Amino acid sequence: MSEPGEHIRAMRMPKPRNSAGRNVGAAIGVGIGLGLLVLLGIILSPWGWYLVVAGAVAVATWEVGGRLKEAGYHLPMPIMIIGGQAMVWSSWKFAASGILAAFVATVLVLMFFRIFYNGPDKEARNYLRDTSVGIFVLTWIPLFGSFAAMLSLMANGDIPGTYFIITFMLCVIASDVGGYVSGVFFGSHPMAPLVSPKKSWEGFAGSVVLGTSVGILCVNLLLHHHWWLGGLLGIGLVVCATLGDLVESQFKRDLGIKDMSDLLPGHGGLMDRLDGMLPAAMVTWLVLSAVSSV
């Protein structure tokens, strides 16, 4: 006869190949808090969602600007933050045209102001470097973030904007969960070892499978549109989210830092959570524009 517990031991879960790399308990707690905040923004959409997005854009810009300042870059943060807010809120009334106008205006102010950052009587050293980085940050955070805000303005008949936001969030969560589980249990082939050693092709495959599946279900069941559009959304979102992760990893590697800040225990900084979501929001808005009547 077999000993008690022998069958239970035989049914153990497979041992993870890789470490999660963070305090899972703290990460879950903070994740729940962020999830509740996002849920409140969705319920109070569109203005509630705009407040959530605008707040996230401001904090993320402040985080990145602080790290760049530590590394010796000189960026006028009031201009960066105010310009970013102008981009987000201009999209409410003027859609993509408002984003473009606010973006161009902010870049122009940045270009001119940076000349006199150290005063009218001092040379503007590293002008091209700092201006280029400033434009990069404005594109990376508030420009992409503005497309996330505009999801709340989408509608199609009886389908409200909240369904478009929910579709986006569920696809993002599915991409993260699929990539995390597949990467931890099966990851063995690094995607870009010199940029992000823990990101694997197996994790990417998990993101594609789960993200695309959820995209198909959401677009078909929530938005009542063709399943293949959901597949296109899932694939595009996962690819952009992955590229966003790699961009932030290279950014941090250049600066020699691990996290953008210690604002969120178990997660790092807010930008460490938004790195993939921001470009994913842009492709989500682009694909779902085929569904929306706005």
List, for residues 180-213, the tens digit of each pLDDT value.
899 888 878 898 888 888 889 999 999 999 999 9
The span from the CA of 208 to the CA of 205, in Å, is 5
For the chain, state the CA radius of gyration: 21
The span from the CA of 206 to the CA of 185, in Å, is 11
Task: Look at residue 293 in the predicted model and tell me its pLDDT.
Answer: 61
Question: Is there a contact between 276 and 249 (Cβ–Cβ < 8 Å)?
Answer: no
Task: Look at residue 10 in the predicted model and tell me its pLDDT.
Answer: 47
The span from the CA of 138 to the CA of 278, in Å, is 12
Residues 182, 26, 167, 283, CA torsion sign: negative
The closest alpha carbon to 57, from 30, 86, 34, 31, belongs to 86
The span from the CA of 117 to the CA of 76, in Å, is 8
Structure tokens at 124: 């503007």
Task: Look at residue 186 in the predicted model and tell me its pLDDT.
Answer: 86
Task: Look at residue 83 in the predicted model and tell me its pLDDT.
Answer: 97
The closest alpha carbon to 292, from 129, 154, 167, belongs to 154
The span from the CA of 131 to the CA of 73, in Å, is 10
The span from the CA of 146 to the CA of 152, in Å, is 11
How many distinct helices (H) and strands (E) make up the chain? 11, 2
User: pLDDT by residue for the chain (294 residues), tens digit each?
Assistant: 455 555 544 445 455 555 545 556 666 777 788 889 999 999 998 999 999 999 999 999 999 999 999 999 999 999 999 999 999 999 999 999 999 999 999 999 999 998 887 777 777 789 999 999 999 999 999 999 999 999 999 988 788 889 999 999 999 999 999 998 998 888 788 988 888 888 899 999 999 999 999 999 999 999 999 999 999 999 999 999 999 999 999 999 999 998 888 887 767 889 988 988 999 999 999 999 887 765
